[in-house]
Structure 1
Amino acid sequence: MKLVWQVPAVVAVAAVGGQAVGAVHDDPWLSLLLGAVTVVLSVVVYRWVVGRTERRPVTELAREGARGAVARGMLIGAAMFVCVIANIAFLGDYDVHGFGSVGGALALVGFMAGAAVTEELMFRGLLFRLVERRLGTYAALVLSSVLFGAAHLLNEDATLLGAVAIAIEAGGMLAAAYAAARSLWLPIGLHFGWNFAEAGIFGTEVSGNGDTHGLLDSSTSGATLVTGGAFGPEASIYAMLFGGLLTIAFLRLARRRGTVVPRRRGGRADTLAALPR
């Protein structure tokens, strides 16, 4: 019954917000405004519906430490993409033709912020967190990652390789980041930092979502396994490599902090008292 109330509420805000921002993508200031509105409404709705249905403080979206967690996540996400694009450029498969569009980059701030927040609330805040209670951290990470990758098959230039790559590099990394921090702010920052660096700064495709207009006018060419092809660098072997390494790092951190939820023989996870329920 929790899912019956929680999922439709969060998905409705995400769908309406995404459509609204997409409809005004040619107007950078309006895109930024609607993206900010989507972020605020998504957080408010999540806090309200989860607090009401689970009758607890929504600690995974606590205000304390939120700014620092988002900032750290943005830095890690952006740095990860810099590593990916640097390797692609080293092979001569990424070319910069000049400066792109400041307005386009500004519009992407709103779009990427809305997407990062709504997707993290749905896939880590609801799916991963609730499955983890039943099956433990590792099973929840695998299941949520597979579904997160599969969801990207609906994108315009989706590919099977891209969906698999998203499951490996993003689904695992973002779930592991949440498991380590027990806060959604860190994966939200990671998600935004990665996506904005990819499109808003380096001007490459994002998850097969069509043309992007970032600060740099650029193009990729070469083997699909290196560049990701039409799906974008997220389908690159380098993205999978660095995403996998970060997943391992976050899981090790979670184990040191004692925030990994083990699965018990009865099929229900041994949920630690300190974790959001």
Structure 2
Amino acid sequence: MEPSAFPEDGRSTAERSANRLRRFRFPVLFIPLFAVMLAVVGIDTLVAPLPLLALPVGLGLGVVGIACYRWLYRKVEQREDLPELAVRDRWSGLLRGTLLGFALFCALMLLIVVFGGLDGLSWGSFFGALGLAGMMFSVATMEEVLFRGVLFRILEERAGTVISLVVSSLLFGATHLVNVNATLWGALAIGLTGGAMLASAYVLTRSLWFPIGLHFAWNFTHAGLFGIAVSGSDDVPDGLLRTTLSGPSVVTGGVFGPEASLFALLVCGAATVVLLRRAARAGRIRARVQRGS
């Protein structure tokens, strides 16, 4: 006799398998997407010397990353709708995030200049900036999918917004310790600035498009426009400008770069507070779910 497709509890084998996937959805989602991110970084590195190729490849890799997230989400969570990637929010979210990210990093650079941190400024490469645009888009997309789409979203469902924001921000900062010029303070600063700000952008909109645009514009303005190495990287990017900083680390961020400066904490901290205040007014801060509920 063939084994029954319906066990004693009345559920089919397919239903039981789906329930197991949902139960362990964090590793089932995070591990494959982390592998995709590593592949994206590897491909970006290969095409980086060819800016006119790096731009379309980077944009395409970002689209592939989103497609992988959609496919895994539907397989693991058994849902067709993805509110965090709603098509209606795509262009408006990307545009608003891009404008905000550009404005915030320009404000940071203005403060550094005012306090004497600028040592030199010259023209760089227009085509190099184009290539960096593709690379920064793919990296920003994959990091937002991983840290806000998977880690923050799933943790928030159980622990609430505040705990999820703290934990995901610290882990986001810790991942930057692998960079060549990384410092403990630099990684902590990334968590306090970028991690918290990007999580707040997600909380306010409940969409990944806004933080993707914000993340992309911050990194692209950093590397693609001003030509400053990002987050302690050892590679000086071939951006539109070549910017040299000098002076106290509290002003310039030292070897880690502007993201570890006091002004980055002020600029990103102010943005985080505004985003969270607006999210609270809109009723989008979620409380911790009590066990057994």
Question: Is structure 2 residue 271 aligned with structure 1 residue 246?
Answer: yes
From 27, 51, 69, the counterpart of 1:4: 27
Q: In 2, are the aligned partners of 1:21 and 1:31 still within 8 Å (CA)?
A: yes
Give the structure 2 partner of residue 187 of structure 1.
Answer: 211
Change (3 A) 1:147 1:267: farther
1:274 counterpart residue number:
none
Contact 2:25-2:76 at 8 Å conserved across structures: yes
1:208 aligned onto 2:232: yes
For the pair 1:28 / 2:51, whether they are aligned, the reply is yes
TM-score scaled by structure 2? 0.89
Q: Secondary structure at the match of 1:219?
A: strand
1:171 aligns to 2:195 (yes or no):
yes
Cα distance between partner residues in 2 of 1:121 and 1:201: 25
SS at match of 2:87: coil
* Whole-angstrom CA distance in 2 between matches of 1:46 and 1:33: 20
The aligned residue for residue 272 of structure 1 is none
Tell me what 1:263 maps to.
288
Of 115, 140, 147, the match for 2:139: 115
Which residue of structure 2 lines up, in the alignment, with residue 104 of structure 1?
A: 128
Q: For 2:95 and 2:26, locate their aligned partners in 1 and report how far apart those are by CA, in whole Å.
A: 30
Structure 1 alignment gaps of length 5 or more:
269-277
Pairing 1:148–2:211 present: no
Q: CA deviation at 1:31?
A: 1.1
Structure 2, unmatched stretches of 5+, are: 1-23
Q: Which has the larger radius of gyration?
A: 2
What SS does structure 2 have at the residue aligned with 1:65?
helix
The equivalent of 1:89 in structure 2 is: 113
Indicate if the aligned counterparts of 1:14 and 1:38 stay in contact, CA closer than 8 A: no
**3-state SS in 2 of match to 1:77:** helix
Distance in 2 (alpha carbons) for counterparts of 1:88 and 1:51:
45
Per-residue deviation, 1:95: 3.5
Q: Is the 8 A contact 1:134 1:267 kept in 2?
A: no
Q: Is it true that 1:199 corresponds to 2:233 in the alignment?
A: no
Does 1:231 find its partner at 2:221? no
Which residue of structure 2 lines up, in the alignment, with residue 49 of structure 1?
72
Secondary structure at 1:138 match in 2: helix
Deviation, structure 1 residue 264? 4.0
**What does residue 3 of structure 2 align with?**
none
Q: C-alpha distance in 2, partners of 1:226/1:245?
A: 17
Residue 130 of structure 1: how far off its partner (Å):
0.4
Cα displacement (A) at 1:39: 0.5
SS of match in other structure, 2:277: helix
Deviates more, 1:173-182 or 1:198-207: 198-207
Show the counterpart of 2:92.
68
CA–CA separation in structure 1 for the residues paired with 2:145 and 2:290: 29
2:13 alignment counterpart? none
**What's 2:183 paired with?**
159
Q: How large is the RMSD of aligned CA atoms in angstroms?
A: 1.3
Counterpart AA for 2:88: E
- Structure 1-normalised TM-score? 0.94
Instruction: Give, in whole Å, the separation in 2 of the partners of 1:267 and 1:173.
Output: 32
Q: CA deviation at 1:97?
A: 3.1
Which whole-Å CA distance do the structure 1 matches of 2:256 and 2:50 have between them? 25
Alpha-carbon spacing, 1:158–1:267, altered in 2? closer, same or farther (3 Å): farther
Q: Which runs of 4+ in 1 moved over 3 A?
A: 264-268
CA distance in 2 between partners of 1:97 and 1:59 (Å)? 43
1:162 is displaced (CA, Å) by: 0.9
Give the CA deviation at 1:267: 8.2
Q: Distance between the aligned counterparts of 1:255 and 1:4, measured in 2?
A: 30
